[in-house]
Amino acid sequence: MTTLTREETEALIQEVLEVYPEKAQKDRAKHLAVNDHTVEQSKKCITSNRKSLPGVMTIRGCAYAGSKGVVWGPVKDMIHISHGPVGCGQYSRAGRRNYYV
């Protein structure tokens, strides 16, 4: 594994943020920081444990995703309606993988 310098890591973060619109860039920048113990700023915590933004895939998922996998996963002869095209829409396009033959 290669070790990136602080400048390379900052450039990588800027490259990641470039794909976002300006408003989203400003919000997402709070969640990304260079981990450098020699700099005082890196000892500050990054922003986390906030409400999820609608349409953004998160690690938390939602109630729909949980019920789709646990409750409605085995039901094949019905139409599943989701509330969003990105995060939860991913779960409505197909059934659970372990139910396919």
Residue 67 shares a structural domain with residue 39: no
Give Cα separations from 6 to 26, 60, 77 (angstroms): 21, 30, 54
Whether residue 58 lies inside any domain: the answer is no
Asked, for residue 84, whether it belongs to a domain, the answer is yes
Task: Answer whether residue 70 is part of any domain.
Answer: yes
The pTM (predicted TM-score) of the whole model is 0.45
Residue 72: inside a domain: yes
**92 part of a folded domain:** yes
Whole-number pLDDT of residue 18? 93
Q: DSSP characters for 34-94?
A: ---TTSGGGGSPPP-S-PPPTT---SS--HHHHHHHHTSTT--SS----S-TTTTHHHHSS
pLDDT at 96 over 70: no
| Rg over CA atoms, the chain | 19
pLDDT in tens, 35-70: 777 766 655 666 666 676 665 656 666 655 556 556
Question: Is 52 within a domain?
Answer: no
Report yes or no on 33 lying in a domain.
yes
Handedness of CA 17, 29, 10, 45 (dihedral sign): negative
Q: Which domain holds residue 21?
A: 6-43
What is the total count of domains within the chain?
2
Question: Which of the pair, 88 or 2, is modelled with greater confidence?
Answer: 2
What is the rounded CA–CA span in Å between residue 47 and residue 31? Answer: 5
